[in-house]
Each structure stands twice: as C-alpha cells, then as structure tokens.
Amino acid sequence: MNQSDYITASKNYAKNAQDAYEQSLSYLLTGLDEAKALDQQAANVRYDNLITKIRQQIPGIQQEFERNAKAAYINKQQNLQQIDADLNRLGVNTQGFGVTQRLLNEVAYGQNYGNLVLDYNNAMRDVANQEVNALGDLNADLADLDAAYAKDKLDTQKYIGEQGRDVYNTEYKNYYNDLQYQDDLKQQQWENEMAEKKLEEQRKQQAWENAFKEKQYQDQIAQQQWERQLAEKEYQLKVKQVNASISASRSSSSSSGSRSSSASSSNDKVVNTNYCMNPDAFSSQKGFNEYNALLTQVAKQGGIKTSILNEYLNQGQKNGVFSSKDVSAIKKQFGI
C-alpha cells in the first residue's frame, strides 16, 4: 500500500469514528431542547397563572361599580323624595324653583354616576394594562430563553465539533500508523520467507556439493583401488616374466612401486467558581445577564476549559457585551 492509499484509508476510518463519536454526544443537544421546552412551559404556566390572578380583579370591580351605581341611584331617589316633600311643604312644588331643585338633583346624580363609570373604566383599563404587561414579560422571558438556548446550542455544537476533531486526529494518526505497522509486518514476513528460501537453497546447494564431493572422493577411492589392483596384476605378471627369464638365463631386474592420490573438501485545565458577582460590578445590565447565563452553563457542565472561557470572554468584549473591566473581573473570579 502506497502513501496515497494510507491517507485515503486513514481519512475514511477517522471520519467514521468522528461521526460515531459526535452522534454519541447528540444527547447534549437533545438535553438542551428538552430544557428549553420545560423552561418555555414554565414561563407559559407562570403567564397563565398571572393572567388568572389579574382577571380575578374584574368581578370585584364590576360588583363595586354596580353597588356604587345602585347606591347613587338610591341616593338620587331619596334626595328627590326629600325635595318633593320640602317643595310641597313650601307650596312651590310646580314653580320654577321646584323644577330647578329637581334638575340639580339629576345633575348631581349624573356627575356621580359619571365618576363611577370613569373609575370603573380606569380600573378595567388597569386590568388590561396588567395583562399587556404580563404578555410583554412572557415574550421577554421567551426571547431570553431563545437567546440562551441559541448560545448554549452554539457552545454545545462547538464543543461537540472540537471533541469530534480530536477524535478524528487521534484515530487518523493511530490508523495510519497501524497500516504502516501491518505493512511493515508483511514486508518483514516476506523478507523472512525469502531469507528462509535462500537459506534452504543454500542448504540444498551445500548438500549437493557435499554429495558431489563425496562421490568424487568415492570415485577417487575406487580409482585408487583399481590402480592398486592394476599395479598388483602388472607386478604379478612381471614376476612371472622374470621367473621365466631366470630359467633361460640368470639376470636381475627390479619392478616399479605404486602411485597414490588424495582429495579434500571444504511505542486546556478545567476551571470553575462557586461565587456570584454583584450586579454593580458590571458595566451594563446586559453584561450581568450574560454573566449569569455563563454561570448556569458552567454549573451544568461542571466546569469550563480555560481556552473556551477566554475565547467566550474575548468574543463578548468584541461584541460589546462585556467591557475590559468585566472580562478582568470574571477571569479573576475563575482564577485565570
């Protein structure tokens, strides 16, 4: 396997490992979704309870208006009876004075009733305003929840991405090294087999050479024996010839010796805090709110890496959420 094959196979393996690990951390995002749904449900329940409490004022307002209106009407009628009695006693019941007194009584009643209606309308308007304020508070709470959720989700996705990249890098390196190791083993095995094969050929060659040399030696021995036998026969023949010659005449002769021959062979620490800072220590309410959201997230996670906290504070200062004084105070609180 060449270098390009190593890289391709290692990338595929590392990507599968990264996807599997990131999928195993998906419960973090699911937890955020569930927490957001519960927070939204709680906010809506608080709103419904508050609306119910606000609207409980309406029956009392209506009852008070009806009671006061009825009292005003009764008071008008009683005043009218008193006016009629006084006018009859004075004998001016049908004159202009009597009409004026009755008219004034009606005017007083009308003003009184008008004030009651005005008070009633103001009270009902106050109830409506309370409902509007409650709805505004609900929308603000939901907006804050959405903002916190978006931030937490972004931070969580970033965390999962960083963890996934760490897994990718580690698995890529390990798999790449393992491929090289396996190929090195195969190469070593091939070399061992070739060396063993070469050694076996050498053994066979040596055995052949030894057999050849042994045959040469045996052939030499046989040659020597044949030569000795031949020499012996020649000697016997010469002896016979000599003996025959002696019979004819006396002479002496000597015969030859024998010949001989020989042969030879050769293999970012985590920070946390348990203290809250005073709102007056921050340059803005927005910075204090963002700081509280940070504490909540850190509490959920059991701590935060120094690198992540520094990046978060730098981004917050860049976006105008924190001042440099805020950042210094928060870092000091976390001990960095």
Q: What is the pLDDT of residue 168?
A: 94
pLDDT at 249: 35
Q: What pLDDT score does 93 carry? A: 58
Domain boundaries, the chain: 38-149, 273-336
| pLDDT value of position 300 | 83
Q: Which residues of the chain have pLDDT under 50?
A: 235, 239, 241-267
- Predicted pLDDT at 250: 36
Is residue 138 within 8 A of residue 44, CB to CB? The reply is yes
At 217 the pLDDT is: 86
Distance CA 134, CA 129 (A): 8
pTM to 2 decimal places:
0.44
Q: Is 97 helix (H, G, I), strand (E, B) or coil?
A: helix
**pLDDT recorded at residue 294:** 87
Closest residue by Cα to residue 171 from 7, 336, 286, 18? 18
Cα 41 from chain centroid? 27
- Whole-number pLDDT of residue 275: 75
